[in-house]
Structure 1
Amino acid sequence: MAKKILMIVGDYVEDYEVMVPFQALLMVGHIVHAVSPGKKDKDTIATAVHDFLPGEQTYTELKGHRFALNFDFDNVKSSDYDALLVPGGRAPEFLRLNEKVISLTQEFHRDKKPIASVCHGLQILSAAGILKNVNCTGYFACKPEIVQAGGNYIDTPADGAVQDDHIISAVAWPGHPQWLSLFLQKLGTKITL
């Protein structure tokens, strides 16, 4: 049975962290509404491609694709959805300043609906105050925020993921196979070959 998933994104979201999950979740039959504050159905956002080069202390950033939204942010109600997905990149640093983004995140948590967060997406979960005593992971630069929010940062490889009850988190896009598998299990999705 198809589930309805809300994906909150913004300009300079990590390209792989929005494109791959969006397409994968649609491929298995789920409904995904990709939304962004101040934008409407068919508007687009800019994405960024992040990568790591040997010997450099942080990631490099290149301009990615345009990503088309498919629902109006102003019409979003958490009660209409079964799960929440928050990709990373630079978008979460400004999305966490939006009161509706924070309240939606808190509502999904209150109702124990599955929440998946990748990379810097944990900045939104931290700002929403929902990480107290939660085991989670994310991009290592988010560790201070996670710890300050009361979360237990789990240091995992870039392709790893952590699940604690209804919250699933991953370090970055190399973890798509791991976190998407956990997320689909939490949604009750059955894939047969």
Structure 2
Amino acid sequence: MAAKRILMLVGDFAEDYEVMVPFQALLMVGHQVDAVCPGKEKGEKVKTAIHDFEGDQTYTEKRGHDFTLNATFQEVKASDYDALVVAGGRAPEYLRLDPEVLAVVRHFAEANKPLAAICHGAQLLAGAEVIEGRRVSAYPACAPEVRLAGGEYADIAIDAAETDGNLVTAPAWPAHPAWLAAFLKVLGTRITL
């Protein structure tokens, strides 16, 4: 298996686990992962938020870690990458307002390259208008946006993942084992024991 070049879109107050775990796991299996944020350069940091499920009507949010970017958004070219990962949390809410970010997402969708989004990452997919006719999981509060963008909301368990062709989505960080395994399959990554 040849290592893949993966672009990861993050931003301030992206969900901590949804940035850190996929970034580290994809590196661990040998892929190159370039984490970028519009308006920030390589070496700068984004602040993350920790979302937890503590029995309230919605998730709770606490300050997470600082995550150091290892590439500069303005310098990357989507065509140089094999796949895209969109972290969840609050970052997708404002990243979807950036036309350059939307163009990056559209590139991966139109080129049928592997594309993964977790939790609120579906907001960015909806904003880029790339989920019409697709089955998409997301945090349940994003279900209306998935439907309004013409997608079919996959109401799956919090620890499950949904694969629709090149698109892998999941509702939240408890799904890391499922969506990372599904994404590795879509990437063509084989792990042997």
TM-score, normalisation: structure 1: 0.99
Matched, 1:25 2:60: no
Structure-2 separation of matches of 1:76 and 1:126: 22
Corresponding residue for 1:48?
Answer: 49
Residue-by-residue CA offset, 1:48-80 (whole Å, 9 max, x unaligned): 0001112x1111101000000000100111110
Structure-2 separation of matches of 1:186 and 1:59: 30
- Identity value in percent: 55
Give matches, 1:1-193, under 5 Å: 1-54=2-55, 56-193=56-193
Aligned residues: 192
Structure-1 separation of matches of 2:107 and 2:42: 23
Give the SS at the match of 1:6: strand
TM-score, normalisation: structure 2: 0.99
Give the SS at the match of 1:168: strand
Q: Unaligned 5+ residue runs, structure 2?
A: none
Aligned residues: CA RMSD: 0.5
Amino acid at match of 1:6: L
Q: Unaligned 5+ residue runs, structure 1?
A: none
Amino acid at match of 1:128: A
Structure-2 separation of matches of 1:66 and 1:154: 31
Amino acid at match of 2:15: E
Q: Which runs of 4+ in 1 moved over 6 A?
A: none
